[in-house]
Amino acid sequence: MPMTIDDRLLIVVAGPTAVGKTSFGIRLAGRFSTEIISADSRQFYREMQIGTAAPTAEELSTVKHHFVHQLSIREPYNVSRFETEALALLGSLFAEHRVVIMVGGSGLYINAVCHGIDVLPDPDPGIRADLKELLASSGIIALQDELLHADPVYAAQVDLSNPARLIRALEVCRQTGVPYSSLRSSKPKIRPFRILKIGLELQRDVLYGRINNRVDAMMDSGLYQEALSLYPSRQLNALNTVGYRELFDHFEGLTSLEFAVEKIKTNSRRYAKRQLTWFKKDPEYQWFQPGDLDQVIELPELAG
* 267/285 Cα distance (integer angstroms): 25
In terms of Cα–Cα distance, which of 282, 275, 280 is closest to 122? 275
91-101 per-position pLDDT tens digit? 999 999 999 99
16: pLDDT strictly greater than 90:
yes
Q: Fill in the amino acid letter for 4.
A: T
CA 246 to chain centre: 19
- pTM for the model stands at 0.81
Architecture of domain 5-118+187-302: 3-Layer(aba) Sandwich (3.40)
Q: Where in the chain is the domain with CATH 3.40.50.300?
A: 5-118+187-302
What letter would DSSP give residue 32?
A: H
118: pLDDT strictly greater than 80:
no
pLDDT at 108: 86
**Residue 150's CB: how many other CB atoms inside 10 A?**
19
- Please give the average per-residue pLDDT across 229-257, as a whole number: 94
Q: How confident is the model at residue 1 (pLDDT cuts 50, 70, 90)?
A: very low
Largest Cα separation within the chain, whole Å, is 65
Q: Where in the chain is the domain with CATH 1.10.20.140?
A: 125-184
* 219/138 Cα distance (integer angstroms): 41
Instruction: Kindly calculate the radius of gyration of the chain based on its CA atoms and give it in whole angstroms.
Output: 20
| Topology of the domain comprising 125-184 | Histone, subunit A (1.10.20)
Q: Determine how β-strand 285-288 pairs with β-strand 99-104.
A: unpaired
Side-chain half-sphere exposure of 3, counting CA atoms within 13 A: 17
pLDDT at 156: 87
Q: How confident is the model at residue 223 (pLDDT cuts 50, 70, 90)?
A: very high
